[in-house]
Amino acid sequence: MHTVRVDSIEVFDAIDLKNQLLQTGLIIEQDFEWAWITAEYNNVEGWTRQKHAEFRFYDPALATFYQLKWAR
């Protein structure tokens, strides 16, 4: 699995990216998996994790393509 992390994104934008993948003909759990990671805060350390989306591709060429396409 090859992970592409997309930072500084809202959950609705992450869902749009997932839907774009589906519209191109990719299949969940065959070509890619995705996850929305919520931000995490605790009173001692402050923000310990920022919200982001992770897309995991089975094909490294697809991961590279979308990492470049989604670069901000």
Q: How far apart are CA 3 and CA 10, in angstroms?
A: 18
List all residues 6 or more positions away from 4 whose beta carbon is below 8 Å from its beta carbon: 54, 55, 56, 57, 63, 66, 67, 70
Q: What's the confidence (pLDDT) of residue 45? A: 67
* pTM score of the predicted model: 0.84
Helix (H, G, I), strand (E, B) or coil at 28: strand
The residue-averaged pLDDT of 29-35 equals: 96
- DSSP string of 43-59? TTTEEEE--EEEEEESS
